[in-house]
Amino acid sequence: MTKARLNTVIHAPNRLQICAFLTPLQEAEFQVLRDELDVSDSVLSKHLKQLEEAGYVTFRKGAVNGRQRMWASLTKAGRKAFSAHVEELTRIAGVVSTPVN
Partner 1 sequence: MIHENENLTPGEAREALDSVAKMEGAGWRRAVPERWFGAGIATLIGSMFAVYALQDPYPYIVFPIIGIPVLIAAGREKVGAYGRDFSDGKSNKWMLALFAAVLVVVFFGSIFIRRTYDAPWVSVITGLLVGLTVFLASEHERRAYIAKAGGGQG
Binding site for partner 1 (CB under 8 A): 1-9, 11, 13, 16-17, 20-29, 31-32, 36, 54, 64, 81, 86, 89-90, 92-95, 101
Report the distance separating Cα 101 and Cα 89, nearest Å: 16
Nearer to partner 1, 40 or 69 (CB): 69
Q: Which residue in 42, 1, 3, 35 sits closest to 17, CA to CA?
A: 35
- Contact of 27 with 18, CB cutoff 8 Å: no
CB of 48 to partner 1, least distance (A): 15
CB of 61 to partner 1, least distance (A): 14
